[in-house]
Structure 1
Amino acid sequence: MMKTTLVTAIALSIGNIALADDHSGQWYINPMVGHQKPDNERKLNEDVVYGVGLEYQYNESWGTELKYLQGSMDSEGAPGNDADMKHLLLEGMYYLNALGNKKFSPYLALGLGHQEYDYDLSDKNDETTATFGPGFRYAFSDRWSTKIDYRLVHALDHSENDGLLTVGLSYALGKAAAKPMAAKATVADADKDGVIDSQDQCPNSPMGVAVGSNGCELDSDRDGVVNSMDQCPNTAAGAKVDAKGCAEKLTRTETIALKVSFASSSAQLTNNFMPEVEKAAAFMRKYASVTAVIEGHTDSSGGAAFNQRLSQSRAESVRDVLISQFGIAANRLSAVGYGEDKPVADNASVEGRKTNRRVVAVFKAQVTE
């Protein structure tokens, strides 16, 4: 049962090696010669062994090696009861100096195996083994290295302990043999912002600031001032700002004549005048603190009371369009009708009366620039 379980474990491990990503490690073939000292209970003299190993390094720290060893030991007890030894084992290796490009690479190994001692004059001794011990690899070049290992070989079935010392010549297989335990390739990042220099469009970004994929510091509100310098980080999109990232504010009262005119006795705003209304909306988006008074006016036709109501309706018509179609906040707009009280042209002529039927937007803000 123990032997069947071991063979299954070895087969699964070999399968995992074959499926490993060969871009993440390196294959080695390791012919070796060594010296094995059997446990005293075996009544055998220590002698030379030889064999071969197939090794795969998964990454800088971990590797696996499948080994086969054999040798012949002379009898120490009964004359002529010599034995042939065969040993198949699978070991995992942990490298101790994964950091840095070092020719000398020590490791620890732990494994399981199946060992046979076939005696000339007595029964064959089959046993499951556990192995443990240190080793190291010394690289001569990218492909050639030597390995020296010592293992304690413990027979799980009979509690016997053999000592095994091997020396091997190791050859790195494959088209891209790497230096053993070479350090990961590093790329230059002079300002340490996480973006390599060849892709860094802002190579002198301050330490610790958040940057984008181009290496430039972020400007979250897109006002042209980077986050570390922005004292007003939530400026409205498109607002004109100063060097501190704060919205620039007017120090005077601006008046924009929208040149919106109406048919006689009508407050209906036609599409022909939408570009004029849009001018007011653009101004208010640019200066986030500005409020506006929409003034409505009429000519002198009709009664004064009627003209007052009509001018109010005209002002409110423009205000409603600024809110509903251009997204201006209602609390920034007010509407006032002046009726016929503030003409800008002579009401005696048709052209003059047309000019007087108008809406004017007055923008006000008292702030420090």
Structure 2
Amino acid sequence: MRLQRGLFCVLLALICMLVPQGGMAENLSSSFTLTPFAGGYGFSEEQNLKDSGFFGAAVGYNLTANWGAEAVFGYASTETETGATDDVDYFAARLDLLYHLQPESRFVPYFAVGAGEAFISPEKIAGESDFIVGYGAGAKLFLNDTFALRLDLRHLLDINDVDKTRSKTTVSNVAAYGGLMMQFGGLTSMQTADQDGDGVTDAYDRCPDTATGISVDGWGCPLDSDRDGIADYLDACPATPLGATVDRRGCPLDSDRDGVADYRDQCSETPAQTEVDERGCPANDHDSDGVLDEQDRCPNTPQNIPVNDLGCPKDEDGDGIFDFEDACLDSPGDQPVNAKGCPVDEMVEDVVPQGDTLVLNLEYPTGESAVTNEFIHDLQVAADLIQAHPDKRFVIEGHTDSVGPAAANLRLSQKRADKIRAYLVESLGIPAERLEAKGMGESQPVGDNATQQGRKSNRRVVILPIP
């Protein structure tokens, strides 16, 4: 113990001399450290070893800015103090846990506690290895982000119950040493700061003032599970469907206050106090046209058809054909019209039966072949004709006018015939084996292609039995 008090006093004096007035560097979280050191080691008189120099290195890792772990490896070359003089090599290895005070400053004092093993060679001096337990303090003075001067003082308890030459099983040693510490990597206090304590550091936190206890996303903002713009902790309806407009409580809007949210409400302007069904429509308006059943003269109007005050589809030109079925919405009211609402002297009749043959004058837009809603009535007539002759097979011929190249007209007529056949089979239940489709192009005109009326007559579909 002769050097122990002296070493301790020297260490305290050096620490006091090194205390700085301020600085920028700091003890970094998640950093690795390497410290080569040199100093002195004071042995207990019980060990019969002379005090000597002590050299080694420490390798550490800072778990946080305050807490760190460090493996310390040291060596002392000494000799026996009494009796025959023998050279002795002393090796020590221990693992220390460090707690740093004021880690964000340049001057960082710390406390340490640890345990390890000591090995003395030759073994005849002390027998097998000793178990050592130590505690102490130290300080780091950062010169910059990478380098720091470092001083350490340790009180080490050397425990050996095998060495019979010792009068005590446990003896006290002391070590004092200093070195140059190198720090690698790590996060600064700015990078690890989390002022709202939500687990997302301020450097990445888009919502740095989140209240305590609020669940947050990866950006540090309160969770909004249904993405309605209202955070879960404020959301009275946290499972609102995506895209639904919500109120300040996070619940779907119900503009007409009928108990059915707007995103499900098919009648979003229902008058107040009106009884509604699950669609949000008046319970006594079965066709949902806005006219209650007791006032509705057309209670089965198709969905989304504009109606008049009586609940019937509108007929703006007064020709007796509802607008949604009227192909000529501006027909004079005093002129006879056909089933499509067009004056009879302006259109070729849609369906012309000729015995067991049917001519369909279908108005295709130029270059088009799709089956439209306007064709459905005529195709039902065609289906009825075919069903009336169950013992016959039919061919569907597509015909065009002469406008455009003949090859293109042939292809177009084939497409039209194919699609008429497909509709009759798939939508009207005609067995496929009873129908063929054939494009005739412009090869069989029935009207003069030089006139508009003649060309209209030539754009037709003919359904006739196969002999």
Larger of the two Rg values belongs to structure: 2
State the partner residue of 2:384.
none
Structure 2 residue runs of 5 or longer lacking an equivalent are 1-28, 270-277, 290-297, 305-311, 321-334, 343-372, 375-467
Query: How far has the Cα of 1:137 moved from its partner?
Result: 1.5
Paired amino acid for 1:144: L
> What's the TM-score, normalizing by structure 1?
0.53
C-alpha contact 1:127 1:156 (8 A) present in aligned 2: no
Contact 1:56 1:63 (8 Å CA) reproduced: yes
Q: 1:110 to 1:295 in 2, by over 3 A?
A: closer
Separation of aligned partners in 2, 1:289 and 1:128: 85
Q: Would you say 1:246 and 2:219 are equivalent positions? A: no
Q: Identify the residue that residue 266 of structure 1 maps to in structure 2.
A: none
The answer to whether 1:32 aligns with 2:32 is no
Whether 1:290 and 2:280 are equivalent positions in the alignment is yes
Identical aligned residues as a percent: 17
Letter in 2 for 1:129: D
CA deviation profile, 1:233-272 (whole Å, cap 9, x unmatched): 44444444444433223379xxxxxxxxxxxxxxxxxxxx
**Offset of 1:342 from its aligned partner?**
7.0
Give the aligned CA root-mean-square deviation in angstroms: 4.5
Structure 1 225/98 Cα, relative in aligned 2: closer, same or farther at 3 Å?
same
Structure 1 residue 186, shift from structure 2 partner = 5.1
Aligned to 1:94: 97
1:22-171 to structure 2, matched below 5 A, reads: 24-39=31-46, 44=48, 47-59=50-62, 60-75=67-82, 81-95=84-98, 97-98=99-100, 100-101=102-103, 103-116=108-121, 126-142=127-143, 143-159=148-164, 160=166, 161=168, 162-171=171-180
Distance 1:224 1:290, change over 3 A: farther
Distance in 1 of aligned mates of 2:176 and 2:57? 14
**5+ residue gaps in structure 1?**
1-21, 253-280, 297-307, 320-340, 359-369
The secondary structure found in structure 1 opposite 2:163 is coil
- Aligned-partner Cα distance in 2 for 1:227–1:195: 18
Q: Which has the higher contact order (CA 8 A, sep 6+)?
A: 1
Measure how far apart 1:285 and its partner are: 9.6
Deviation, structure 1 residue 115:
0.8
Q: CA deviation at 1:191?
A: 4.9
Once the two structures are superposed, residues 84-123 of structure 1 have per-residue CA deviations (whole angstroms, 9 ceiling, x without a partner) of 222112111122x3464263222123211221358xxxx7
Q: 1:112 to 1:183 in 2, by over 3 A?
A: farther
Counterparts in 2 of 1:1-369, with a 5 A limit? 24-39=31-46, 44=48, 47-59=50-62, 60-75=67-82, 81-95=84-98, 97-98=99-100, 100-101=102-103, 103-116=108-121, 126-142=127-143, 143-159=148-164, 160=166, 161=168, 162-173=171-182, 176=184, 187-189=192-194, 191-202=196-207, 205=210, 207-244=212-249, 245-250=251-256, 284=266, 289-291=279-281, 293-294=286-287, 315=302, 344=315, 345-347=318-320, 349-350=336-337, 354=341
Q: Is the 8 A contact 2:319 2:341 kept in 1?
A: no
Q: Aligned partners of 1:192 and 1:23: how far apart in 2?
A: 19
Shift of residue 196, structure 1, vs aligned partner: 4.5
Q: Per residue, is there more strand in 1 or in 2?
A: 1
CA distance in 2, matches of 1:351, 1:219: 59
Residue type matched to 1:86 in 2? D
Contact 1:240 1:286 survives alignment (8 Å): no
Q: Give the whole-Å Cα distance in 2 for the aligned partners of 1:343 and 1:125.
A: 113
The 2-side partners of 1:351 and 1:282 are apart by 40
Inter-CA distance 246–91: structure 2 relative to 1 (3 Å threshold): same
* Normalised TM-score (structure 2): 0.44
Q: Secondary structure at the match of 2:225?
A: coil
